[in-house]
Copies of this chain bind each other. A is one copy, B any other.
Amino acid sequence: MADSEEAISLVLFSGTEDRLQAAAVLTAGAAAMGRPVHIFLQYWALNAFRRDRIDGPLPLAPEAGAEGKEAFDAMHANGQQAWQQTLRMAKELGEVDIQACSLSMDLLHLEQDQLDPLVDGIEGVAAFYLNAGQGQMLFI
């Protein structure tokens, strides 16, 4: 199917666990359909991909409240796949490219060797747009 071969691009801004999980689910779904996925990591999402943090606990959005926290705690207790595992699986399954935003790297004083190997490289906004082409684009 032609449609499903079209690339999708995600700008990940937020580093809360709930939004990262939403992004991981959308990535895995697209990859499973044979669509290339381009991910561009900015700000707090980039911080969440730090090698020393990627397996650590992350906050939820404030609106999650006690009820949301309970739902995520139950998910963790059940051993269900976390967002970073879903992304690793999506990269094995399909064509998923994860790039750190160079401006955010500067802002947060990060070097690439501080990032988890899930991150394939560093690029600027222009490169992100060129890779995205005219495909669908989400800001998460």
Contact = CB atoms under 8 A, between A and B. Distances in A.
A129 B4 contact: yes
Contacts of A101: 25
Interface in A33-89: 33, 35, 42-44, 47, 59, 61-64, 67-68, 71-72, 75
Interface of A is mostly: helix
Contact of A138 (B43, B133, B139): B139
Interface of A: 3-4, 6, 11, 13-16, 18-19, 22, 25-26, 28-30, 32-33, 35, 42-44, 47, 59, 61-64, 67-68, 71-72, 75, 101, 103, 107-109, 124-126, 128-130, 132-140
